[in-house]
Amino acid sequence: DARVTQTPRHKVTEMGQEVTMRCQPILGHNTVFWYRQTMMQGLELLAYFRNRAPLDDSGMPKDRFSAEMPDATLATLKIQPSEPRDSAVYFCASGLGAPGYFGPGTRLLVL
């Protein structure tokens, strides 16, 4: 049963610390998406990749966020330095073109 995996599932950190979230897309999927969900904003697209190349990261605060795909089995989302307003659930999704499968999310709390 193929699924998107994300680690860690939960992260509590202090303001100013670096946070790294990881995603393993489903094998064979060529697109990977990062989303953020907050109570206030709902779901928002942060960045996405096709065939490991970044296509759109306009939803991401670039001064502190970075997204990469070092290889086809791993996507990372980093926040440095983290701020309390970054507290949210971060979802990764993968698909063949469209984001068909979502990971369980990483719940981030920045104190």
Partner 1 sequence: KNEVEQSPQNLTAQEGEFITINCSYSVGISALHWLQQHPGGGIVSLFMLSSGKKKHGRLIATINIQEKHSSLHITASHPRDSAVYICAGFHNTDKLIFGTGTRLQVFP
- The least distance separating partner 1 from the CB of residue 16, rounded to whole angstroms, comes to 27
Asked if 44 interacts with partner 1 (CB under 8 A), we say yes
**Nearest 10 degrees: CA dihedral of 88, 66, 56, 2?**
-70
Between the two ends of the chain, the Cα-to-Cα distance in Å is: 36
The smaller minimum CB distance to partner 1, of residues 14 and 44, is found at: 44
Cis peptide before 25 (omega within 30 of 0): no
Strand partners, 23: 6, 75
The smaller minimum CB distance to partner 1, of residues 65 and 105, is found at: 105
- The least distance separating partner 1 from the CB of residue 91, rounded to whole angstroms, comes to 6
Q: Which residues bind partner 1 (CB under 8 A)?
A: 31, 33, 35, 42-45, 48, 50, 56, 89, 91, 93, 95, 97-102, 104-105, 107
